Amino acid sequence: MPASPSAATGADPTDRLRNFVRRLARPLDFASRDAYAHLTTVKNLGSFVSAQVVKALAEAVYSPQVEGELLALRQLFADFHAKLAPAEQKRRLEQARAILARLANVEVTGADVTHCTEKRNGHPEESPLSPGPSTSTRIELCALPIRFAKGVGPKRTMALERLGVNTVEDALWFLPWRYEDRSVVTPIRRLRPGQRVTVCGTVIAASLTRIPHRRLTVLNVTLADSTGRLHAVFFNQAYLEEVLVPGVRAMLLGRVQIGRKSWAGLQLDVEQYELLEKEGDVPLHVGRIVPIYHETKGWTSRHMRVLIKSLLDQYAAAMPDILPEPVRRRVNLPRMAEAIQEVHFPSPGTDPVALERGTTPARRRLAFEELFVLQLALGSRQRSVKEEIKGIRFDTGTPLLGRLRAALPFSLTPAQERVIADIKRDMASPRPMNRLIQGDVGCGKTVVALHALVMACGSGYQAALMAPTEILAEQHYLTLRGLLQELGLKPVLLKSGGRTKARIATLQAIASGEAQIVIGTHALIQKEVRFANLGLAVIDEQHKFGVLQRKTLLDKGYHPDVLVLTATPIPRTLAMTVYGDLDVSVIDTLPPGRKPVCTWLFTESQRRRAYRIVRDEIEAGRQAYIVYPLVEESEKIDLQAAIQGMERLQAGEFRDWRIGLLHGRLSTDEKERAMAAFKAGELHILVATTVIEVGVDVPNATVMVIEHAERFGLAQLHQLRGRVGRGGQQSYCLLITSGRSSAPSSEARRRLEALVQSNDGFVIAEEDLNIRGPGEFFGVRQWGTPEFRAASLIRDADLLQRARQEAFALLEQDPHLAKPEHHALRAAMLRRWQTKLELGSIS
Ligand code: ADP
Ligand code: MG
């Protein structure tokens, strides 16, 4: 007989389970006896079974198998009541008895069971909280539906589910969005009108008044402490009449008012109350630093506090510490059990500033765990991609490269050379390349990608270059066609659209392998396009797509190297999160001779001054863009604005010059003609909607006027501005804020000022992230910016970095998290990220 756990609680675990089975079997047997004749006389079977199961689970932690049976048992009776069809009732009873029969035969060994009571009193050095073999025998809080929690009925379950709380784990991770320090209790004699205070005392008298015509009930309570008496008023809480009876001790929070009616002195309009039943009761809602939670109909902050308190009492001590102990120590974070307690109910004296900013050790502990798990997932995915063998070693010594160099009209910058070397290394290796090239607008990413394309073709493979818009695809085609043909390569442009003769011919050329470089939009990896032997996929301006579904490529049977180009200057913290599984190369310098674009802000009344600059530039032989916003909801109206704007300018201010119009509604031919004319210098001014946001490359254009600049996002403005300043000339970006509506909002103003202040895309992106917050940063959710419950990408940037280091180091030691002490961590990682990150191959 093992002396250990049973000694502490006085019962052998096997016996304990047997007793439980016996207790349950009695009413079930009775209900089933005599062909279920007694079924109708058995009352409250559901709550009885439920209470017994909860008791059993609370007393000890059994093996997952046993606990699974217990929970299944409870589930059977969760909605067991008279309304259930008799046949269904019988079926469930049969199942329940089968479960009990199985449980009656289980031998619970000492290793199978951990006593909760012992856990709480356990010695720290052998704490069951440290990762170890006991991990697998803990209750899985993530598998424990919230409806099993005490006091959570079906209605409340629904309210909680609206808040995204489905399990006990969800509830414990439902963190306060702010705290209120109600810990200072003010003696009644010291109250002053206007103060918001907490008082504590004994109820002397209480009376209820109804004011029917105003649908109001007022409960008047007299509260006394050792310094005096106070009149406290509760509105529309008639039920409290039975609670706040004379003699009850209570804490009240509210605002002090000058007394109304004939009452002398002051009155407290009560917002929150709490009963103190026993001496030494720790209050939840007043008299402490109180957590404030987001609410929903039928579920208040107060409900949440009660629920969380009871869950903490029940489970906090058993919360799994999935962070490896050495990591936790190195990063200097508290244990989970302590952190989860503190984050909900901060100890007295917790630094209020840290609470407000979300930087308490408890909060950081939770945030770190989230970031660490994410980085593990990203790291694992990166490894799994690396383990995938493509079997292609590209010939990075192809003579085509030399010929490309010779054909380029400029020499490459050191940053470009460095990145090309990274790509060469990737392409020479048999593992697939999965690399992101990050570089500000105009830094010359295209020519870098061109090297990769040429290497792929030089090795006998096809390569695809995908752009976010047709315009940009066409641009690439037009700029690259000459060079590629000079090298003896055949590029094709695959446009979207029907089954025209030309398109069918192009598709055939791709399928036969005759077309070596295929340029198009993202649609290139759609169904109908078949490649003969795709070896490389380059994706330009990734921010328009959402994270590349590598799987889409693999599913089509391709194992190409992938190169992603992005001009969206993603802040480091986000890049690490969103692109955490890609290798990243950065082009951090612009080609020589570029001058920073001068950016100025004009109001409507200063418009003439902006036009003056445009005029000067055109007279000096340069060209100009005038850009109108295009907001999807009102595409037509904006289009009108652009067209009318152009007509007005053509008739007035700029009548001496040729003006072209470019917008998304034009046919491809019309767009191409407008672009070509502008590029050739036949047009002085191009009036455009945001279709020119990316990729358009006309170095002679030196001035851009942006109308309604306040309507654009910061990243978008920066992209637009990147269309000028591409040659050696000084260029200008003139932002006009429209006068019709009132002054731009302060947020818009902050955006525009950030743009005026800096030309550095990374600075701008950080600022954008700060202004907008990460959720909105990319406009669309398709980015899959992860949602965190405790972490914030802005506030916890330092933690993210740390989490990444630690996670990647851990994967070095234990690439598949196969060691027993990492099992819980691995399970958490898969649970959270498996589907989102397509971790299929590592599960
Ligand atoms: P982005 O990185 O924004 O895609 P592009 O590849 O379109 O930038 O390059 C912007 C402009 O800079 C193009 O006109 C390109 O020909 C030119 N360019 C690229 N690299 C160099 C270089 N090393 N020296 C001079 N001009 C360059
Ligand atoms: Mg580009």
Q: Does ligand 1 come within 6 angstroms of the Cβ of 622?
A: no
695 Rama sector, left if φ>0, alpha if ψ -120 to 50, beta otherwise = left
Q: Does ligand 1 come within 6 angstroms of the Cβ of 726?
A: yes
Looking from the CA of residue 722, the nearest atom of ligand 1 is 3
| Ligand 1, atom 26, residue with closest C-alpha | 591
pLDDT of residue 842: 34
**Tens of pLDDT along 574-594?**
666 666 667 888 898 888 888
C-alpha closest to that of 31 among 18, 43, 21, 19: 43
Q: Does ligand 1 come within 6 angstroms of the Cβ of 446?
A: yes
Q: Which two tokens stand for residue 742?
A: 């009132």
pLDDT of residue 132: 34
| Ligand 1, atom 25, residue with closest C-alpha | 591
Give mean pLDDT, residues 60-72: 70
Name 699's Cβ contacts closer than 8 Å, sequence gap at least 6: 726, 727
Name 632's Cβ contacts closer than 8 Å, sequence gap at least 6: none
Looking from the CA of residue 540, the nearest atom of ligand 1 is 4
Neighbours of ion ligand 2 (CB under 5 A): 695
Give mean pLDDT, residues 257-276: 78
Q: Does ligand 1 come within 6 angstroms of the Cβ of 410?
A: yes
Asked whether the predicted pLDDT for residue 145 surpasses 60, the reply is yes
Name 403's Cβ contacts closer than 8 Å, sequence gap at least 6: 486, 487
Asked whether the predicted pLDDT for residue 437 surpasses 70, the reply is yes
Looking from the CA of residue 439, the nearest atom of ligand 1 is 2
> How many angstroms does the Cα of residue 483 sit away from the middle of ligand 1?
14
User: What's this model's pTM, rounded to 2 decimal places?
Assistant: 0.60
C-alpha closest to that of 260 among 241, 235, 240: 235
| Ligand 1, atom 1, residue with closest C-alpha | 442
The dihedral formed by the CA atoms of 673, 676, 680 and 686, expressed in degrees to the nearest 10: 80
Tell me which ligand sits closest to the C-alpha of residue 543. 2
Asked whether the predicted pLDDT for residue 519 surpasses 90, the reply is yes
> How many angstroms does the Cα of residue 699 sit away from the middle of ligand 2?
13
pLDDT of residue 772: 67
* H helix runs in 390-526, sequence order: 399-407, 414-428, 445-458, 470-486, 501-512
> How many angstroms does the Cα of residue 446 sit away from the middle of ligand 1?
7
**Backbone phi, psi, residue 694, to 5°:** -120, 150
Q: Which two tokens stand for residue 664?
A: 């998304």
The share of the chain scoring above pLDDT 90, in percent, equals 29
DSSP per-residue string spanning 51-94: HHHHHHHHHEE--HHHHHHHHHHHHHTTT-STTS-HHHHHHHHH
CA distances to 99, 685, 722 from 703, rounded to whole Å, are 78, 10, 11
**Tens of pLDDT along 359-395?**
999 999 999 999 999 889 888 877 776 666 666 789 8
Q: Does ligand 1 come within 6 angstroms of the Cβ of 441?
A: yes
Across the beta sheet with 434-439, the strand order is: 491-494, 517-521, 462-467, 534-539, 561-566, 434-439, 583-587
In angstroms, the CA 487 to CA 457 distance is 10
Which of 25-39, 295-309, 604-618 is the most confident on average? 604-618
Q: Does ligand 1 come within 6 angstroms of the Cβ of 567?
A: yes
Asked whether the predicted pLDDT for residue 756 surpasses 80, the reply is yes
Angle of helix 361-387 relative to helix 823-833, nearest 10 degrees, comes to 80
Amino acid 544 reads K
Report whether 572 contacts 428 (CB < 8 A): no
**Tens of pLDDT along 76-134?**
776 676 677 778 888 888 888 888 888 887 776 544 444 433 333 333 332 222 233 33
Q: Does ligand 1 come within 6 angstroms of the Cβ of 586?
A: no
Tell me which ligand sits closest to the C-alpha of residue 719. 1
**Tens of pLDDT along 149-172?**
877 878 888 888 888 888 888 899
Q: Does ligand 1 come within 6 angstroms of the Cβ of 443?
A: yes
Looking from the CA of residue 447, the nearest atom of ligand 1 is 6
Report whether 478 contacts 471 (CB < 8 A): no
In angstroms, the CA 769 to CA 344 distance is 28
Helix, strand, coil abundance in the chain, percent, nearest 5: 50, 15, 35
pLDDT of residue 743: 59
The b/e string for 384-416 (b: 16+ C-beta within 10 A; e otherwise) is bbeebebebebbbebebbeebeeeeeeebbebb
> How many angstroms does the Cα of residue 570 sit away from the middle of ligand 1?
20
Tell me which ligand sits closest to the C-alpha of residue 446. 1
Tell me which ligand sits closest to the C-alpha of residue 409. 1
C-alpha closest to that of 360 among 289, 262, 461: 289
C-alpha closest to that of 748 among 596, 836, 629: 629
Which of 238-252, 326-340, 429-443 is the most confident on average? 326-340
**Tens of pLDDT along 637-696?**
666 777 888 888 888 889 999 999 888 777 767 877 888 899 899 999 999 876 665 556
Mean pLDDT for all residues in the chain: 80
Give mean pLDDT, residues 71-80: 74
